[in-house]
Homo-oligomer: A and B are copies of this chain.
Amino acid sequence: MESISQTEENYLKAIYKIAERAEKPASTNAIAAAMSTSAASVTDMIKRLSEKDLVNYERYRGVTMTKTGQKIATTLIRKHRLWEVFLVEKLDFSWDEVHDIAEQLEHIQSRELITRLDEYLKFPRFDPHGDPIPDEDGVFTFRKQVLLAEMEEAEEGVIVGVHDHTSDFLQYLDRMKLTLGTEIKLVERYAYDDSIKMLLGDSKEIVISKKVSQHLFVQKK
């Protein structure tokens, strides 16, 4: 088993996320954008990953992942999300502060460490942003959820995740008391700009923009 650098790990994670979402090969440009690097560098790295059988690559045809590559990517995602839980639950960080630190912690190499961390955190299934934490085999818990923007008037549900992970958005949600677990009921949608009036818990009513509604995942009641 040859060693895999942090950079290679990061590429694999990026490719996984792109290819997963699109259900088709990841393009050089898409990877370059995700990694904030040049297309030339991506081609370079792809060749190396392909050489190590971590991705399948055909010139001009894009990249897909091998089983081995997928395993590395999902393990990395697992580690990232477990560390985020640790930072929020144990060290009392807020959900908008943990991503960058987890981005580093996810590269710590120790199977045992993750096993024990998982146990210490009581085997969480979701991270602080509501994203599922894959198990040791890379299997994600599936949860039936919709974007708030897709709900109908009078429907009720619970906020379970975010589609935008920026600090700005997360801090906005904190200020609006739109944290995970909050029960909501869609009161009215204003056709003019698709803004939404909704009920939080069973007391406060607030209005949110279309943009916000497109970045919140809700589990319907």
Q: Which residues of A contact B (CB under 8 A)?
A: 87, 90-93, 97, 100-101, 104-105, 107-110, 112-113, 116-117, 120
Contact = CB atoms under 8 A, between A and B. Distances in A.
A116 B92 contact: yes
Given A87-B113, A91-B116, A101-B110, 8 more contacts: A90-B90, A93-B112, A100-B110, A101-B113, A104-B107, A104-B108, A104-B109, A105-B105
User: For the complex formed by this chain, how many copies does it contain in all?
Assistant: 2
Contacts of A92: 116
A3 to B, nearest CB: 13
A41 to B, nearest CB: 19
B101 A120 contact: no
A96 to B, nearest CB: 13
**Which of A87, A97, A110 has the most chain B CB within a 10 Å cutoff?**
A110
Contact of A108 (B91, B93, B101, B116): B101
A34 to B, nearest CB: 22
17 contacts: A87-B113, A90-B90, A90-B120, A91-B116, A91-B117, A91-B120, A92-B116, A93-B112, A93-B116, A97-B112, A100-B110, A101-B108, A101-B110, A104-B108, A104-B109, A105-B105, A105-B108
Nearest to A91: B116
